[in-house]
Copies of this chain bind each other. A is one copy, B any other.
């Protein structure tokens, strides 16, 4: 993937993180970064609107990729499953470069300005999920509400899995943690995949006559 990125951009990110770790984020200026990378100030601002942006160099591309992925969805696909797939794409941006992701996690926890920046990025992912779900659920009563709630739940599950992986210094299987977390969201919103094929769920009022309950089961499991 790094082959598609200009080497100067990579050099600026590497120089910035070396200085952030050595001196701290606040104590590092754009001038320090360009001096270490051996380029001019204008080169920095060609790639990054501000010092904050160099901390999250891949989010714009990832947001673009993820939005395109959702836009290219087959109309027949299960919407929540598709959003979970999109969340896996976002996770991959972190797992592609574990040591960088762990360094940034530590930095972001220390610098309130970066924390605010990260919240605005997370909010954009959530909006992209919600907008896709709003389109797909537009035929439902409360489609907008459901879209917003499900999008927030997927983002929270993703962030829970991501943080637990980052806190363990990028050790262990991030994808498995995410799948587990998304499984909880899918079971909560009633659209989990395979198991429904095999299971009959019968809901009956306590007062229903037994013969009617048995009839319902027989019809559900296809006997007569």
Contacts and interface: CB of A to CB of B under 8 A. Distances in A.
A188 interface: yes
Contact of A156 (B151, B184, B204): B151
Interface string A170-209: 0000000000110011001110000000111111111100
B205 A202 contact: no
Contact of A188 (B148, B149, B161, B199): B149
Q: How many copies does the complex hold?
A: 2
Contact of A210 (B142, B189, B218): B218
B144 A149 contact: no
**Residue of A157, A188, A199 with most partner-chain B CB within 10 A:** A188
A26 to B, nearest CB: 18
A205 B210 contact: no
A217 B206 contact: no
A111 interface: no
B157 A148 contact: yes
A147 to B, nearest CB: 9
A142 B184 contact: yes
A69 interface: no
A156 B148 contact: yes
Given A152-B152, A210-B217, A160 B184 contact: no
B188 A210 contact: no
Interface of A: 115-116, 119-120, 123, 142, 144-146, 148-149, 151-153, 155-157, 159-161, 180-181, 184-185, 188-190, 198-207, 210, 213-214, 217-218, 221, 223
